């Protein structure tokens, strides 16, 4: 005989404050991870350091997240490494062409990377170290990237002829390299990397390349 799963009991008025406290603590811990990454990079990141930054007992980190690896995975999924969804980019609206969606996503990717020093520190770390933490974070980003490519809605034949993942890899990796390079160099091929003017040029170029690549694939 097949039995139905019991319905989950509603949260009582007594449990509600406890749940809010737990959610608030989780958010404080995740925010602390981002601040540490942006300020000091991965060299100082650990459960003890995160606990001090968040102002919580490290026991709570193990209780809510299970350890540093799971904590970083949760942080990665929450922040999505500076790459928002197409809906966030304003490109998920009905009637938008594939080119418009891709262009809107790349434009937002440029802006989000500049506004996410912690995401840049994650990717900078991945360039020099291969360990369980970097591999897990890279997996989170890969899953998000493939989901975003599917959201574009490029017809299968067009995507295969274009080799959409390879094109997306070149475009996003190029933008990422310039964002990382800005920390150690003021410009790249004469394009300023530390000014709004320079990044407006990079964003404009990324949008033009998205239109060119996807428009050509349709012909």
Compute the distance between CA of residue 1 and CA of residue 152 in angstroms, rounded to an integer.
44
Q: Provide the residue-wise pLDDT of the chain in tens; the chain has 219 residues.
A: 444 454 555 555 555 666 678 888 999 999 998 888 778 777 778 899 999 999 999 999 999 999 888 888 888 777 655 444 444 545 444 457 888 989 999 999 999 888 888 788 878 888 887 877 778 778 888 888 888 888 888 888 888 888 999 999 999 999 999 999 998 999 999 999 999 999 999 999 999 999 998 876 565
75 CB-near residues (< 8 Å, 6+ apart): 30, 33, 34
Beta bridge partners of 187: 192
Distance in Å from the first CA to the final CA of the chain: 58
pLDDT score, position 79:
66
Q: How many CB atoms lie within 10 A of CB 13?
A: 6
Compute the distance between CA of residue 124 and CA of residue 105 in angstroms, rounded to an integer.
22
Compute the distance between CA of residue 217 and CA of residue 204 in angstroms, rounded to an integer.
20
pLDDT score, position 157:
87
Alpha carbon separation from 114 to 76, 80, 123 (Å, rounded): 17, 14, 13
Compute the distance between CA of residue 115 and CA of residue 111 in angstroms, rounded to an integer.
6
- pTM beyond 0.85: the answer is no
Residue 80's H or E segment, with its range, is: none
Exposed/middle/buried for residue 128 (C-beta within 10 Å: 0-12, 13-18, 19+): exposed
Structure-token pair, residue 59: 């026991």
């Amino acid at each position: 005989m097949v039995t139905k799963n019991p319905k989950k009991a509603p949260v009582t008025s007594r449990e509600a404050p406890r749940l809010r406290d737990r959610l608030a603590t989780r958010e404080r811990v995740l925010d602390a991870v981002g601040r540490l990454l942006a300020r000091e990079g991965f060299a100082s990141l650990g459960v003890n350091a995160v606990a001090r930054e968040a102002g919580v007992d490290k026991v709570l980190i193990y209780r809510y997240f299970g350890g540093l690896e799971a904590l970083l995975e949760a942080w990665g999924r929450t922040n999505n490494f500076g790459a928002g969804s197409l809906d966030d980019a304003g490109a998920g609206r009905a009637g938008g062409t594939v080119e418009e969606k891709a262009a809107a996503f790349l434009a937002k990717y440029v802006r989000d990377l500049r506004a996410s020093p912690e995401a840049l520190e994650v990717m900078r770390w991945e360039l020099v170290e291969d360990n369980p933490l970097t591999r897990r974070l890279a997996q989170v980003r890969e899953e998000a990237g493939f989901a975003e490519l599917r959201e574009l809605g490029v017809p299968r034949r067009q995507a295969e002829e274009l080799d959409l993942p390879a094109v997306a890899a070149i475009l996003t990796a190029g933008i990422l390299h310039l964002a990382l390079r800005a920390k150690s160099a003021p410009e790249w091929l004469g394009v300023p990397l530390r000014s709004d003017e320079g990044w407006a040029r990079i964003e404009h170029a990324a949008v033009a390349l998205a239109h060119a690549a996807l428009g050509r694939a349709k012909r």
